[in-house]
A and B are shown apart, each in its own frame.
Chain A
Amino acid sequence: MAKRFSAILQLVLLLAVGYAIQMAMDAELINRYYAHVMTIMAIFVVGAVSLNLINGICGQFSLGHAGFMAVGAYTAAIITKNPDLILPAIFTGNIRFILATLLGGMMAALVGFMVGLPSLRLRGDYLAIVTLGFGEIIRILLLNWDFVGGASGYFGLARHTNFFAAFLLSIITITIIRNFIQSSHGRACISIREDEIAAETMGVPTTRYKVIAFVIASFFAGTAGSMMAHLTQMVTPASFTFILSIELLLMVVLGGLGSISGSIGAAIFLTYAAEALRAFRAYRMILYSLLLIFIMLFRPKGLLGNQELSLSLLRESFKNLRARWRRKKKDGITAAAE
């Protein structure tokens, strides 16, 4: 009970901090550009943490996470732009936006189910191929759908997203996914990553849990898509392409497959880096590929491995560093003595 209470207290504190930052932004104490970048960071945290559930926690390999963001973005955009379509007209303003974001997530989850079920029944890399194709199919469908503006995109959305909204969504996503991982259902997913055959012979219905993880992740990707659409006030088929999927994948790999805090850190860092290197935007695919190869070669488990960032981990690595340093010094001394 005490544990639960402190968890809730922590959440409330976090939200208070987020809200304070938002107030500082409203008062223009934080410059607009930074406010925009910080909002995007929060949205990418949602994208990366949810993708980590598939690729890191469950050990599957999705290459189409941006496609689910697109599904959520367009679904929500259609709802907020048409005052009496899908949702009755009594829901307006931010309430309509929140409901639209939920429905965007649900639509993405539904599509995730339809994509995931056939490909996750099979062992191996079918999911990577299918999700890769799925992202392209979504893009081409949107290009040819005149109702949402075809190639030129869907414009004139109200600006519902602010930093606090994106921050709130990221906190909800992190909390739910972390709680899930700590449950028996989450353990079932992790056991699949560790050894699928052993998991199955321990009584875990592996296909079911792969699909569950995939659908949950798709849901959050959909909500992130809606957030993004109502930040930039438009969606185009080019908003959520393969490059974005690779960016998200890079965040997950860099932060460490299976580490939630790693994904959060990497999402923040890479969003910042992408902004700082805006001048080299044309080369980012090359950069990302090189970075991916580099990580795979030298740090295949990511920066954090599957560990979570915590005080004890920091203390531990500090101790290791110190011990190593002492040893070096001692080696140096003995070497000199010889």
Chain B
Amino acid sequence: MAVLETTNLTIRFGGLTAVSKFNIALEEGELVGLIGPNGAGKTTAFNMLTGVYQPSEGTIAFCDAPLCSATKALQPFQITRRGIARTFQNIRLFKELSVLDNVKIAYHQNVKYGLLPAFLHTAQYQTEEVEIEEKALEFLKIFSLDTKKAEKAKNLPYGEQRRLEIARALATNPKLLLLDEPAAGMNPQETQQLMELINFIRKQFSLTILLIEHDMALVMGVCERIYVLDYGKIIAHGTPAEIRRNPKVIEAYLGEEVAHA
């Protein structure tokens, strides 16, 4: 069964077509890469998948249910509740909140108590808050962030901020995780740890993952399949070995890398 399937997803900003006829399909449990030069439209594609942007055309189906079509579009929070979580290219943590509170927000969608129990701190409030706290702590432990639970998110070192953002996304209990350049700004050692983490969470939480990454070696190393985006269009699609040999890719993307090297 396809977890995610898009058809002809297109978005225009004024005269600029940022993404055009974006067709991808992800099978359950896959780890798929989405690569392409800067400005190719990768982040924009994520924004459409998560409802942050409304596509100009095209449809998105998630587990065979439409998220977005010509007649209806779910809002980002509804899409999260269906089971898609994401991280951001420029980390978007709740900076002034504690590490623990950052994760607690993820459990808001399951909260059953209403406003009155919140105003009065009733027994129901107490029980549910204790549960939330326990769950959030357990989660921090998995990511070895439990010792920093009281720290403000903005005070974490860069690598841990990335880790917290992933932890927070996973706490929403997604089926599909979208990672937007999670290794950006990391040194090789941190990148290596991140890759191990991704492999670990993938098994632990039986996730399907779509990964945007600029670092070619990294993507080639972990992904089973890769889509290549250039100027908003998918120009190639296949296994890492196929992508590496594809002349269009070499021209559009690897050429850039070679030029840089």
Contact = CB atoms under 8 A, between A and B. Distances in A.
A186 B118 contact: yes
A194 B168 CA distance: 15
A219 B1 CA distance: 50
A187 B76 CA distance: 18
Given A186-B118, A190-B94, A194-B94, A205 B105 contact: no
Contacts of B96: 194, 306
B41 to A, nearest CB: 18
A180 B93 contact: no
Given A187-B104, A188-B108, A205-B77, A198 B88 contact: yes
* SS class, residues of chain B in contact with chain A: helix
Contacts of A184: 104, 107-108, 111, 113, 118, 128-129, 132
B139 interface: no
A203 B75 contact: no
Given A183-B125, A185-B118, A195 B94 contact: yes
Interface residues of A, number: 28
A202 B118 contact: no
Contacts of B106: 202-203
B95 to A, nearest CB: 6
Given A183-B118, A191-B105, A202 B168 contact: yes
A306 B120 CA distance: 23
A186 B117 CA distance: 12
A212 B77 contact: no
Interface string A206-243: 10000010000000000000000000000000000000
Interface stretch (B55-63, B78-86, B194-202, B221-229): B78-86
A176 interface: yes
B120 A198 contact: no
A157 interface: no
A201 B115 contact: no
A179 interface: yes
A185 to B, nearest CB: 5
Contacts of B80: 200-203
A180 B120 CA distance: 8
Interface string B100-114: 010011111101010
Contacts of B169: 202
Interface residues of B, number: 39
Nearest to A205: B77
Contacts of A187: 97, 101, 104-105, 108
Nearest to B50: A201
Of the candidates B50, B95, B121, B128, the one having the most CB atoms from chain A within 10 angstroms of its own CB is B121
A244 B80 CA distance: 41
B245 interface: no
Contact of B129 (A183, A203, A205): A183
B121 to A, nearest CB: 5
Given A180-B118, A184-B108, A190-B97, A203 B92 contact: no
Nearest to B84: A201
Contacts of A212: 115
Contact of B115 (A185, A191, A194): A185
A199 interface: yes
Contacts of B128: 184
A204 B106 CA distance: 8
B10 interface: no
Given A184-B132, A195-B92, 14 more contacts: A179-B119, A183-B117, A184-B113, A187-B105, A190-B101, A194-B93, A195-B93, A197-B52, A197-B76, A198-B92, A199-B94, A200-B76, A201-B85, A205-B77
6 contacts: A179-B120, A187-B97, A187-B104, A194-B97, A195-B92, A197-B52
